[in-house]
């Protein structure tokens, strides 16, 4: 009997599923979405409808890569290209069950070969106010970088996917053509960028109503130009964007705004495949994550080792102890030291070797913690006592695990707000001038993403991905909750978490930020650090991190998926 033809279009889903998940786009969770199954599972930080699209790929015979890429494509459509983009960036960690091998793929930013004076690139972002958060200076095409998202989707599918490449695009094309409801979250983004999205004719035609009014909550937003672009990519591959009609339009748009990107920059883009960074953690656990130039993997391992050196693992949980919370805060703030010059690092922590090979060792952590415990600190905490993305994780019935993080790497479309045939173009160089200057023109930018697969006694037991300004802090807490305190993935996510602290741009003083009402105030006060309890409506741009995960019992094959606990993300399984 012939197998039914694969068709992931929502009209083929189980009756009522598309409508139900579409309606849920406007509902924010207060606890992690969760699901259990044995044949497959998908979890996402944003847009539960995208997770359901990914699950359909599994139901119709696809594997974890098919599911993850289908979900990621749908996420971009559902987010209207604001926090994520088809010309954004992606990192992937993929574990292949049948071989036991783990692969990593870097599809992050390339710099522009003709940009030889990056420190003069205009722009910047300041978290001191909503106005400053929209971006500084005049819009400039020089702020555009070469994104690898679509090259990454194609490369991952070509190497590991089971379904046809065109199948992956079917839910996204349907959503773009049929339209999606403007949720309160999307309406806020339209308001936030209203002046910027009216600057260019194509962006106005894409993001503003024909009568000139702004899209508001409850409206239906359709993306016909994007649907046409996605059909072309589904048919012709990523070359449509990197060596074809779309690419030529992109270069013309960027150069019209003063940028230096050329078609050669697009043609030269390649994803980077590499063996994973592997590190032993604790209690029989080890992690496989992205190596350089994704420096986030090294920050992840270093922080976990520091937690052991500081006695965080096995001690009282930091939500119940001021002393342990203070340790956790000091450890997580070290993530930024990677981007400091070597001389500056040596001045703060003399004698400590911060080379990548050293940072993942237990000895490095012990020596570094000894200095931190003696009072040396990377952060100028304001004291009360004297003294830009999305995630997808998918596991199939065979135990293959795909964990990806992707982003536009800027604040909601960016100040330039350039659109090309429905695709948003980031201004990510506007705040990374120093990072661009540290690499040769045309080369890959370092990336902070922390995505990986956790192993227990040699068995793959957890796939995870993180995003948001506080991605490092959230990953740190999630992995400790799971490996030290025996929490399942739901519990690890729902346990109170602290965010990326806020920094006063004038004084440099740092303030602890936590969600309202989750921590015992006596614990917060006992740290001696100034703190702020942040309302949930501010959290998305206020430094929170998102961490999603799926666990797999190696004995029973049971899957347990959990999503973020403060938005419309969800987890699905069967």
Q: DSSP secondary-structure letter at 428?
A: G
Alpha helices in 333-468 (DSSP H): 342-348, 356-359, 362-373, 433-437
The verdict on whether omega for the bond into residue 451 sits within 30 degrees of 0, i.e. cis, is no
**pLDDT tens track for 520-552:** 999 999 999 999 999 887 877 778 999 999 999
Residues 382-395 have a mean pLDDT of 74
What's the total number of domains in the chain? 1
Calpha distance 421→413 (Å, rounded): 14
Q: DSSP secondary-structure letter at 485?
A: S
Calpha distance 358→344 (Å, rounded): 17
- Residue 388's pLDDT band (cuts 50, 70, 90): low
- Sequence-distant (6+) residues with CB within 8 A of 336 are 378
**pLDDT tens track for 165-179:** 999 999 999 999 999
Give the lowest-confidence range in 162-166, 186-190, 336-340, 378-382: 378-382
- Residue 568's pLDDT band (cuts 50, 70, 90): very high
More confident residue, 339 or 367: 367
Residue 1 lies in a domain: no
More confident residue, 491 or 376: 491
**pLDDT tens track for 214-242:** 999 999 999 999 999 999 999 999 999 99
Q: Phi, psi (5° rounding) for residue 177?
A: -80, -45
pTM confidence score: 0.95
Cβ neighbour number for residue 343 with a 10 Å cutoff: 7
Handedness of CA 463, 466, 472, 477 (dihedral sign): negative
Scored b (16 or more CB within 10 A) or e, 365-394 reads: bebbbeebeeeeebbebbeeeeebbbbbbb
Q: Phi, psi (5° rounding) for residue 90?
A: -150, 145
Location of structure tokens 């993935």:
489
Return the closest-CA partner of residue 408 out of 85, 160, 112, 167.
85
- Sequence-distant (6+) residues with CB within 8 A of 503 are 127, 509, 510, 511
Return the closest-CA partner of residue 45 out of 17, 71, 10.
71
Calpha distance 547→31 (Å, rounded): 13
- For the chain, state the CA radius of gyration: 22
Handedness of CA 309, 312, 313, 316 (dihedral sign): positive
Residue 2 lies in a domain: no
Cβ pair 105, 160 in contact under 8 A: no
Residue range of the domain that includes 442:
8-574
Residue 3 lies in a domain: no
The three-state secondary structure class of 286 is strand
Average pLDDT, the chain: 94
pLDDT of 128 reads 59
Residues 44-55 have a mean pLDDT of 97
Residue 369 lies in a domain: yes
């Amino acid at each position: 009997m012939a197998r039914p033809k694969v068709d992931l279009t929502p009209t083929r889903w189980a009756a009522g599923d598309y409508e139900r998940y579409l309606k849920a786009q406007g509902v924010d969770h207060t606890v992690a979405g969760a699901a259990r199954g044995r044949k497959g599972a998908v979890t996402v930080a944003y847009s539960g409808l995208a997770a359901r699209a990914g699950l359909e790929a599994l139901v119709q015979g696809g594997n974890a890569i098919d599911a993850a890429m289908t979900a990621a494509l749908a996420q971009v459509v559902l987010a209207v290209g604001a926090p994520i983009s088809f010309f954004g960036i992606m990192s992937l960690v993929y574990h292949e069950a049948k071989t036991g091998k783990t692969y990593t793929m870097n599809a992050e930013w390339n710099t522009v070969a003709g940009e030889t004076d990056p420190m003069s690139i205009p722009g910047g972002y300041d978290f001191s106010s909503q106005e400053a958060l929209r971006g500084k200076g005049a819009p400039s095409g020089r702020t555009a970088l070469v994104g690898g998202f679509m090259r990454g989707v194609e490369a991952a599918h070509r190497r590991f996917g089971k379904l046809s490449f065109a199948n992956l695009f079917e839910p996204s094309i349907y959503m773009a053509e049929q339209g999606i409801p403007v949720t309160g979250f999307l309406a806020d983004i339209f308001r936030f960028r209203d002046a910027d999205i009216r600057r260019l004719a194509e962006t106005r035609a894409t993001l503003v109503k024909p009568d000139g009014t702004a899209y508001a909550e409850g409206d239906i937003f359709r993306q016909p130009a994007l649907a046409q672009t996605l059909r072309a990519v589904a048919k012709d591959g990523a070359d449509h964007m990197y060596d074809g009609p779309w690419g030529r339009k992109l270069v013309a748009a960027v150069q019209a705004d003063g940028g230096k990107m050329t078609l050669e920059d697009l043609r030269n883009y390649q994803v980077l495949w590499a063996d994973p960074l592997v590190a032993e953690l604790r209690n029989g656990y080890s992690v496989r994550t992205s190596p350089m130039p994704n420096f986030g993997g090294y920050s992840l391992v270093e922080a976990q080792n520091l937690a052991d050196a500081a006695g965080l693992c096995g001690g009282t949980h930091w939500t119940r102890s001021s002393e342990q919370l203070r340790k956790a805060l000091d450890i997580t703030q070290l993530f930024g030291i990677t981007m400091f010059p070597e001389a500056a690092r040596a001045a703060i922590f003399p004698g400590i070797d911060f080379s990548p090979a050293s940072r993942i060792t237990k000895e490095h952590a012990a020596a570094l913690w000894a200095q931190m415990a003696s009072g040396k600190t990377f952060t100028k905490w304001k004291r009360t006592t004297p003294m830009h993305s999305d995630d997808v994780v998918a596991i199939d019935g065979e135990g293959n695990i795909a964990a990806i993080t992707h982003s536009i790497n800027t604040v909601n479309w960016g100040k330039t707000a350039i659109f090309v045939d429905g695709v948003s173009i980031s201004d990510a160089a506007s705040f990374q001038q120093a990072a661009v200057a540290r690499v040769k023109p045309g080369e890959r930018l370092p990336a902070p993403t922390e995505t990986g697969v956790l192993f227990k006694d040699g068995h793959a037991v957890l796939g995870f991905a993180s995003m948001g300004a506080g991605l490092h802090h959230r990953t740190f807490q999630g992995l400790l909750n799971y490996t030290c305190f025996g929490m399942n993935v739901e519990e690890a996510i729902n346990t109170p978490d602290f965010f990326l602290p806020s920094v006063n741009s004038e004084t440099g003083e740092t303030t602890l930020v936590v969600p309202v009402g989750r921590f015992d105030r006596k614990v917060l006060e006992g740290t001696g650090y100034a703190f702020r309890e942040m309302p949930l409506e501010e959290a998305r741009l206020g430094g929170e991190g998102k961490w999603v995960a799926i666990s797999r019992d190696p004995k029973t094959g049971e899957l347990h998926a959990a999503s973020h606990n403060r938005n419309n993300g969800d987890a699905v399984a069967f």
